Structure 1
Amino acid sequence: MKFDLHTHHDRCGHAQGEIRDYIEAGIRNGLQVIGISDHSPYFGSSTDRPQPGIAMAKSEFPNYVKEVLRLKEEYQGKIEVLLGMESDFFPEHLESYRKVYDQYPFDYIIGSVHLSGGVSIFNKKRWKGLTDQDQILHKEEYYDLIAQSARSGAFQILGHIDAMKGYYPAFTDIQTEAVEKTIQIIGEHDLAIEINTSGKTKDVGGWYPSDTMLELCLHYGVHVTFGSDSHIPGRVGDDWEEVRAKLKEIGYKEWVFFRQKKMVSVAL
């Protein structure tokens, strides 16, 4: 069974195409299951859309859910459409997000850390002038947030867990025990992490997370799933076969997707 749980569309303000375009791309690329998981609104903000180029407006959120559910019905028998969300993780606003999500029939929610220390993880400038010790502290702060997201109980999947390397490939070489400790926590909470193939669109190339991290995930019993993180329909299912082969090489026997927040295992 071929699936992709991480796709976006034009509501977020930085993706191209409508939801239907991604579903049709999934059918063309041989998917049996596609998850729609656009960026969450900033539910912790008092304004409707504080970041129009990053996430949808709060007022648009119910329409997003309605459209996905309508398309789920329309495409029944052709492809299974899942209602997902890529949710920002802000510890201070967790309950505000949770109250909104609990009102809707999500199949899964991806928890992603996009800001660490109040700065985008993709901001190249955050690394300028830092000492080696400062870099370690930045990395540890990022993984502390991911560990908190794992403990929160709000998510089924954790998104791109080493995406901070996107525009700073040297991130991978910053040594800290925080990475392994965080992976252990993810395993203890029976969550999945995604193999996210959008790293190829950044300076670092390749996927998130690294093979070394995937080996640790296997050791600590962390489930894995697949997400292209498509922001254009043409990337739906991108590198799916290559990821499947790599997981088998590492030693995985299965990967998972979620339906009504229940984990569904699929043999590799």
Structure 2
Amino acid sequence: MIDYHLHTVRCGHAEGTLEQYWREAVCKGLKEIGFADHFPLDVLNFEPPEKVTMEGWELPQYIGEVLQLSLKNGSPNVKLGIEVDFLPGLEKAIYEELSHYPFDYVIGSVHFLEDWDFTNPACAGAYEKCTAEEILTLYEKYYILIEKLAEAELCDIVGHLDVIKKFGYRPPGGTAHLIERVTDLLREADLCIELNTAGLYTSASEVYPSKEILESCFRRGIPVTLGSDAHRPEDVGRDLEMALDLLREIGYREIAVFKDRKRGSLKI
């Protein structure tokens, strides 16, 4: 069992020490964990309305702390990851910044539609003003950004692929017409997705991405890894056994693991 999506207090909306996350992973018998805290947006000259990432000066400290923890003997192994926001127009800057650091993997995620942090509960009220047609437009804009992320060659894993559903707002008629093109591009880019269990604890009430999207990914041979998106030590490994059962049901027989930004596999 692995969990590749753990956050730290540096992002401003998580709690607990790295040691506490590691000890929770020990208690739950995980073989490998990876910290993937939010890459500092100030480095990219992007300022969201609220603090949701570490500051640029904290990045070397974060890396040092994770690498120090990785020296511990025994299981679980500790990997150094990062979750970076995809911001259109800043692809070159993101690529150059990431190249300076020894990450084992990079999760690329979309949290912003222009300057709206649509995954932030503090900003969720904007959904209430949308008509059904406007919700569909938001989904279309979101998946266009996912397509651009897939084409940008910035990351190894696409994070919480359908997180736009987080607050339970869904377009009429579904999203199958949007997902087919996205999964085609993910396959062309040879990207991995994560099965992220945090969606079970939101108004979406299901994992990211949905079973239907996972099935579409499986048909295309898109690899998958696992993440709890833990923001508290007790969330480490949360519902990942259920996630493995879902993957087996769909047909997956292995999950992706990473080292030095090279992908391997682990049988499930």
Contact 2:104/2:260 (<8 A) preserved? yes
Partner of 1:64: 62
1:78 aligns with 2:90: no
**Are the counterparts in 1 of residues 32 and 75 from structure 2 also a CA contact under 8 Å?**
no
Matched with 2:160 is 160
Residues 1:175 and 1:72: Cα distance change in structure 2 (over 3 Å): closer
Q: Which aligned pairs between 1:163-182 and structure 2 lie closer than 5 A?
A: 163-171=163-171, 174-175=174-175, 177-182=177-182
SS in 2 for 1:5: strand
Task: Write the mapping of 1:115-126 to structure 2, written as runs, cut at 5 A.
Answer: 115-122=112-119, 123-126=123-126
User: Partner residue of 1:248?
Assistant: 248
Could you say which residue in structure 1 is the equivalent of 2:84? 87
Given that 2:3 and 2:33 are in contact with CA atoms closer than 8 Å, whether structure 1 keeps it comes out as: yes
Alpha-carbon offset, residue 239 of structure 1: 0.9
Cα distance between partner residues in 2 of 1:267 and 1:161: 23
- Tell me: CA distance 1:231–1:171, structure 2 relative to 1, closer, same or farther (3 Å): farther
Contact 1:136 1:176 (C-alpha < 8 Å) held by counterparts: no
TM-score w.r.t. structure 1 length?
0.92
Report the secondary structure of 2:213's partner residue: helix
Letter of the structure 1 residue corresponding to residue 154 of structure 2: A
Matched, 1:185 2:182: no
Q: Give the superposition deviation at 1:138.
A: 1.3
Q: Unaligned 5+ residue runs, structure 1?
A: none
Cα deviation digits, residues 193-241 of structure 1 (max 9, x gap): 1110111221122211110111101112211110000000001111111
Question: Which residue identity lines up with residue 98 of structure 1 in the other structure?
Answer: Y
Size of the alignment, in residue pairs? 264
**Alignment partner of 1:105 is 2:127:** no
Q: 1:163 is matched by which residue type in structure 2?
A: V
Residues 32, 79 of structure 2: 8 Å contact kept:
yes
Tell me, in whole angstroms, the C-alpha distance in 1 between the residues paired with 2:172 and 2:179: 10
Cα distance in 2 for partners of 1:55, 1:46 equals 11
Q: Which amino acid is 2:228 matched to?
A: S
Given that 1:111 and 1:155 are in contact with CA atoms closer than 8 Å, whether structure 2 keeps it comes out as: yes
What is the alpha-carbon distance in structure 1 between the residues aligned to residue 179 and residue 156 of structure 2?
19
Between 1:175-184 and 1:220-229, the stretch displaced more is: 175-184
Partner in structure 2 of residue 146 of structure 1: 146
Q: 1:216 to 1:172 in 2, by over 3 A?
A: farther
Query: Can you give the 5+ residue segments of structure 2 that lack an aligned partner in the other structure?
Result: none
Separation (CA, whole Å) in 1 of partners of 2:202 and 2:20: 23
- TM-score normalised according to structure 2 size: 0.92
Moved more, 4-13 or 130-139: 130-139
Residue aligning to 1:9: 8
- Find the aligned partners of 2:251 and 2:140 in 1 and give their Cα distance: 28
Matched letter for residue 103 of structure 1: H
- 1:236 to 2:233 alignment: no
Give the structure 2 partner of residue 27 of structure 1: 26
**Is the CA contact (8 Å cut-off) linking 1:13 and 1:52 kept in structure 2?**
no
Cα drift, residue 20 of structure 1: 1.5
Q: Deviations over 1:130-181 (max 9, x none)?
A: 3443322211110010111111111000000111111124358544622210
Structure 1 residues 169, 130: CA separation in 2 closer, same or farther (over 3 Å shift)?
closer
Distance 1:204 1:70, change over 3 A: same
The question of whether the paired residues in 2 share the 8 Å contact of 1:165 and 1:172 is answered with no
Q: How has the CA–CA distance of structure 1 residues 130 and 245 changed in structure 2, closer, same or farther, with 3 Å as cutoff?
A: same
Structure 1 vs Structure 2: percent identity of aligned residues? 35
| Higher deviation after alignment, 124-133 or 54-63 | 124-133
Distance 1:63 1:129, change over 3 A: closer
Q: Which whole-Å deviations, capped at 9, do the CAs of 1:2-21 have from their partners, x for residues lacking one?
A: 11000001111100011121
